[in-house]
Structure 1
Amino acid sequence: MNILITGATGLVGRYLIEKFINDGKLTAIKRPESNISSLEKYPIKWIDADIRDYQALEEALEGIDMVIHAAALVSYDSRDADLLVKTNVEGTTNLVNAMLDKGIKKLIHISSVAALGRSPEVVSIDEKHKWIESPLNTPYAISKYQADLEVWRAAQEGLDVMVMYPSLVLGKIADKRSSTQVYQYVIQENKYYPEGTINYVDVRDLSEAIYRLYLTNKWGENYIINAESIPYKEFFEKIALATGKRAPYKVVNKTSLKFLLFFTRLMKALGWHNSPLNAQTATLAQRKVNHINDKLLSEIPITFHKLEDTIIWATGKN
């Protein structure tokens, strides 16, 4: 089988390479400036292409039997709203249209639990959760939801799809990916922790789950991939313990939240701070939400890494 992976140099993509390398001939898309030194040990055909470039995608798809679509922009900055649409929505649209044009049947689409949406009254979310318009939906969530619509539209036109909904993906801090901001928040010994919960999954478990779901051959399905939901306070304390730092010790209440938002806006205006904290992300962090993984566990056998083990591995303390 000839497999194409988009986003192969990203946090998730590089671990998917390790899982699928023995299941066929791998082709991977990358940007010209991408660093592939850690992946050169694998027999991969690399192609410089951008998913926003339809013609480049057509060329990359030549002779391909299955696509794993892991390329995406992750940003919670409202200023990136247009770029999120161009990358996540238009890029995915280009990909599925090119696959349909070339008669390529199988697509594993790496989405996000954000694509399932949030609503004020819902505290438990599974794959059946219906998207509604809500102030809790970030520009990133909207872009991933719209990308999913394109995938399911292509499924109606004959594409065999599996859609994966990972929660926050925890990788190594040295990789400098989006999840490293969570570690850095504690390492920098910030004082405040939000009242809500965090849903997470170790990137090694995520790639294992995706591979095992692929082996089930159950196309047309979607799966939340989440290890657990725990309070931010506990999550931060475990990171602090592993890194020898002081854990955040002040809970964010309404008064302190207003101060934090004001301070963040001021620092951003002065060009001194690039924190993703804003009214929307701060409100989300205050909420207690659980992304339910029952469907996943009913389909495949998998044991998630303990959070302590993930943190030790991620921060290089082992």
Structure 2
Amino acid sequence: MKTFVTGGTGFVGSALIRRLLADGHEVRALVRPGANTRMLEGLPVERVSGGLGDAPALEKAMSGCGWVFHVAALYAYWGYTWDEFHQSNVEGTRRVLEAATRAGARRIVHTSSIASLGIPRDGAPGTEETPVTFKDMLSDYKRSKFLAEEVAQEFVAKGLPVVIVNPAAPVGVGDHKPTQTGKMIVDFLNGRMPAYVDTGLTIVDVDDVANGHLLAMEIGKVGERYILGGENLSLKQVLDLLSDVSGRPPVRARIPRAVALAWAYVDTSLARLNPKHIPAATPDAVRVSSKKEYFSSGKAMRELGYAYIPAREALRKAVEWYRANGYVP
């Protein structure tokens, strides 16, 4: 029995593929034409060319696969329209699950995100049950992931065995794009982060996230969601840990949020005038940072046996990978 993976060329998807192969699974990966396949090089993976918009190709690619991991998603704060997010993350999920239904997949894991979850007003860590509405979503990415989960639940109601996982902010080996969190680490290592905004996030090693996907596939309850997180840390704590593990000087200056928001508007205006300019922050990103995104992995730990390594170790692995792969001079 083969296992089908979308998003296998990405950060989380490639980590998942490495874990599946280590456990002896045969893997078939959907590879978008033109995608960077760096993280699949040398791996015994069957590659199938296609995209989330090609329903017949998806069904053909899933033929003979008992497990389906839908990891692929458009993740960005800049450079994409709402229609692009909707087509990729919402309609793409619908097409994958339709194809899985027709292909007779036995189990499906849909990779969502903590971005689609609610954040308690009292500062406590969010859980899978924290109340949330579409109006709480502060960016196009968040809105698209929220709606994608609704699509997944529609298919659960029709009898498709879908389990949902909500990874936090993964770091570690293979973040080649890099992600938003990875870009922050690279900027820190290159001395391009003179100040920070007061916010918080849940740091988790990408290999722990990959393991959580496998646990969800094996024993997760259909229709349930599981947060795959790690340590909840303020951004200042993350930067201090990065300083400790890298030997780089710490970041001491904090930017008031109002100043950061004003600069984000200026920076994005410059980017609209010059397509080659990528803003350091967008208004959406600053608004998202107004809430500390702390989450509890308690449910996954209790029901799946999920575990995670300390944030210090996860960040150390990330720093070593970036240094070894040319991201730091």
TM over 0.5: yes
Which residue is equivalent to 2:81?
Answer: 80
- Match of residue 215, structure 2, among 194, 212, 216: 212
* Separation of aligned partners in 1, 2:86 and 2:262: 31
Per the alignment, residue 241 of structure 2 pairs with 238
SS state at 2:4 partner: strand
Alpha-carbon deviation of 1:256?
Answer: 2.7
2:51 equivalent to 1:47: no
Per the TM alignment, residue 13 of structure 1 is displaced from its structure 2 partner at its CA by: 1.1
SS of the residue corresponding to residue 125 of structure 1 reads coil
Instruction: Give structure 2 stretches of 5+ with no counterpart.
Output: 325-329
Percentage identity across aligned positions? 23
Question: Pairwise mapping of residues 1-318 of structure 1 onto structure 2 (< 5 A)?
Answer: 1-21=1-21, 22-36=23-37, 38-77=39-78, 79-118=80-119, 123-134=124-135, 136-172=137-173, 175-178=176-179, 179-187=181-189, 188-216=191-219, 218-271=221-274, 273-275=277-279, 277-316=281-320
Which one-letter code corresponds to 2:4 in the other structure?
L
- Separation in 2, partners of 1:294, 1:308: 20
Secondary structure of the equivalent of 2:214? helix
What's the TM-score, normalizing by structure 1?
Answer: 0.90
Residue 68 of structure 1, CA deviation: 0.6
What is the rounded CA distance, in whole Å, between the counterparts of 2:99 and 2:174 in structure 1? 35
Contact 2:220/2:304 (8 A) holds in 1: no
Q: Retained in 2: the 8 A contact 1:31–1:50?
A: yes
- Structure 1 regions of 5+ residues with no counterpart? none
**Count of aligned pairs:** 318
Q: Which amino acid aligns with 1:50?
A: G
Secondary structure of the structure 1 residue equivalent to 2:221: coil
- 1:11 Cα deviation after fit: 0.5
Alpha-carbon distance in 2 for matches of 1:305, 1:175: 21
2-structure distance, mates of 1:303, 1:217: 15
RMSD of aligned C-alpha atoms? 2.4
Shift of 1:148: 1.0
Structure 2 counterpart of 1:199, which letter? T
How big is each residue's C-alpha offset from its partner over 1:151-208, in whole Å with a ceiling of 9 and x where there is no partner? 1111111111110000111134762321321212323332221222111211011112
Q: How far is the alpha carbon of 1:126 from its aligned partner?
A: 0.6
C-alpha contact 1:116 1:127 (8 A) present in aligned 2:
yes
Matched-pair contact (CA < 8 Å) for 1:242–1:308: yes
